Amino acid sequence: MLRKFKISIDGKEYLVEMEEIGGVPQAPIAVPVTPTPPVVEAAPTPTPVEQTPTPVTPASVGNDAMTSPMPGTILKILVNVGDEVKENQPLLILEAMKMENEVVATADGKVTGLHITLGQVVNAGDALITID
């Protein structure tokens, strides 16, 4: 015997027919179906347009720039150009595979170039920061 069911998923209603296997047959139950009001969706909120960072070409970055150890997204930049840094000082936070990784200075020096922007996606080997 086929039985009809009304199922609601994510606000949309579906009428489903199912065959009952085994059990005691029952008389169909009349269930009044009331029409559901249409779902009115709000207009999407426009997102602010972000300026795209100027791409850094290998020619504009010296060989002394620190490179990304893995692909990921720049979450925080902890230094600015002109800052003095010490060896093992955190320079930025790189999110990779849902983990936050600190990129630290490999030597004492002065930050002479930031080659990334907040929220930028980088690949392994991409230039991040130059320290002289």
Instruction: List the structure tokens of 107.
Output: 């030597």
Residue 84 pLDDT greater than 60, yes or no: yes
29 pLDDT band (50/70/90 cuts)? low
Residue 92, pLDDT > 90, answer: yes
Q: What residue has token string 């893995």?
A: 70
Q: Which of 16-25, 57-66, 68-77 has the lowest mean pLDDT?
A: 57-66
Distance CA 65, CA 59 (A): 12
Q: What is the mean pLDDT of residues 69-90?
A: 93
Domains of the chain by range and CATH? 61-131 (2.40.50.100)
What pTM does this model have?
A: 0.53
Cα gap 14→7, rounded to integer Å: 5
Give CA–CA dist 63/6, Å, rounded: 66
* Residues paired with residue 18 on neighbouring β-strands, in sequence order: 3
